[in-house]
Chains A and B, each alone.
Chain A
Amino acid sequence: MTGRRVEMAALVLVSVAVVAAPLFGSRLIVYYFTITALYASVVIALNLLLGLAGQVSFAQTTFMAIGGYGTALMTVRLGLDPWLSILLAMLLAALAAFVIGRPLLRLRGHYLSMATFALALGTYSFVTAAMALTNGGIGISGIPPLEIADISFAEPRMFYILSWIFCALVLAGYILLAESHIGRAWRALATGQDIAATLGIDVPGFKLMAFVLAAVVASVSGSLYVEFTSFVGPDLYDINIILSLFFMLFIGGRGSTIGPIIGAGIVVIVPQLMSGLERYQNLIFFIILLLLLLIRPAGLFGRMRESVPLAALLPGWLRVSREGRSA
Chain B
Amino acid sequence: MSAVSELKLDGVTKRFGGIIAVSDVSIALPVGAVNGLIGPNGAGKSTLINLVSGFWRPDAGRITFGDRDLTRLEPSAIARLGISRTFQQAAPLTGLSVIENVMVGLHTRYRAGLGSVLLRSPTMRREARRNAEAARALLEQFGLTADADSEASDLPFGKLRFLEFARAAAMEPRVLLLDEPAAGLNRVETDRLAVLIRNLRNQGITVLLVDHDVPFVFGLCDRVVVMNFGSVIAAGKPDDVYGDPAVREAYLGGKEQEAAA
Interface band, chain A? 20 to 34
By a CB distance below 8 angstroms, the chain B residues around A177 are: 114, 117-118
User: In chain B, what residue has the closest Cβ to A1?
Assistant: B149
Q: Is the CB of A200 within 8 A of B91?
A: no
Interface of A is mostly: helix
Q: For chain A residues 196-217, which have a beta carbon within 8 Å of chain B?
A: 196-203, 209, 213
Q: Is the CB of A201 within 8 A of B107?
A: yes
Q: Is the CB of A191 within 8 A of B79?
A: no
Interface centre among B84, B85, B95, B120 (most CB of A within 10 A): B95
A182 to B127, CA, bound (A): 13
Name which of B38-46, B96-104, B199-207 contacts chain A.
Answer: B96-104
Q: Is the CB of A199 within 8 A of B128?
A: no
By a CB distance below 8 angstroms, the chain A residues around B118 are: 173, 176-177
User: In chain A, what residue has the closest Cβ to B50?
Assistant: A194
Asked if A188 CB lies within 8 Å of chain B CBs, one says: yes
Q: A176-B120, A180-B117, A195-B91 are known contacts. Are A200 and B80 too (CB-CB below 8 A)?
A: yes
A209 to B115, CA, bound (A): 12
By a CB distance below 8 angstroms, the chain A residues around B108 are: 199-200
Q: For chain A residues 274-312, which have a beta carbon within 8 Å of chain B?
A: none
By a CB distance below 8 angstroms, the chain B residues around A182 are: 114, 117
Q: A182-B117, A192-B91, A209-B114 are known contacts. Are A199 and B96 too (CB-CB below 8 A)?
A: no
Min Cβ gap B238→A in Å is: 28
Q: Is the CB of A188 within 8 A of B131?
A: no
Residues on A close to B: CB < 8 A? 173, 176-177, 180-182, 184-185, 187-188, 190-192, 194-203, 209, 213
Residues on B close to A: CB < 8 A? 53-55, 74-76, 79-80, 84-85, 87, 91, 93-96, 100, 103-108, 110, 112, 114, 117-118, 120, 124, 128, 131, 167-168, 171
Question: Closest 7 interchain pairs by CB?
Answer: A197-B75, A200-B79, A200-B108, A181-B110, A197-B76, A180-B117, A200-B80
30 A-B pairs with C-beta separation under 8 A = A176-B120, A177-B117, A177-B118, A180-B117, A181-B103, A181-B106, A181-B107, A181-B117, A182-B117, A184-B100, A187-B96, A187-B100, A188-B96, A188-B104, A188-B107, A191-B94, A191-B95, A191-B96, A194-B55, A195-B91, A196-B104, A198-B76, A198-B84, A198-B168, A199-B84, A199-B104, A199-B107, A199-B108, A199-B171, A200-B171
